[in-house]
Amino acid sequence: MNTDVKPLKLVTVITDRTKDKKLVQLLNDNKFLLHSAFLGRGTAPDEISSMLSLGEREKAVVVLVADSDRVKELFGLLKAESVVGGGGGLAFSVPLNSVSNMEVVKLIQNLN
């Protein structure tokens, strides 16, 4: 990997729809600027929803790109603000290490 390009992660946050504005404001306030929000409706059986702390069926799904070294910080903020955990939702990340064009990666980093 090119040494002047930091590793990135794609983060997905699924939370109750009533928390969508709070989540987007939290991301903006903490300079996680490259994100998109979608409305969702849970279809998982109650046992699965309960196991994953998904609670209500009406959901907000927010996807964002973050520097790998800030993901732990983000997860701490989400938990501290009760956006995830405790029946409110979940968050996970996956590395973005297969972007084929380094110029795209640099562009994404400049937007963050």
Domains of the chain, residue spans: 8-111
Average pLDDT over residues 13-38: 92
CATH of domain 8-111: 3.30.70.120
Q: Tell whether the model's pLDDT for residue 91 goes beyond 90.
A: yes
* pLDDT at res. 99: 60
* Res 64 pLDDT > 90: yes
C-alpha distances (whole Å) from 68 to each of 64, 74, 97 are 12, 10, 11
Q: Where are the alpha helices (DSSP H) in the chain?
A: 20-29, 46-51, 71-80, 102-111
Give the pLDDT confidence of 2-13 residue by residue, as tens digits.
556 678 899 999
Please report which confidence band the pLDDT of residue 1 belongs to, taking 50, 70 and 90 as the band edges.
Answer: very low
The label of the residue with tokens 């997905």 reads: 12
Cα 92 to chain centroid distance, Å, stands at 7
pLDDT of residue 83: 86
User: What is the length of the chain?
Assistant: 112
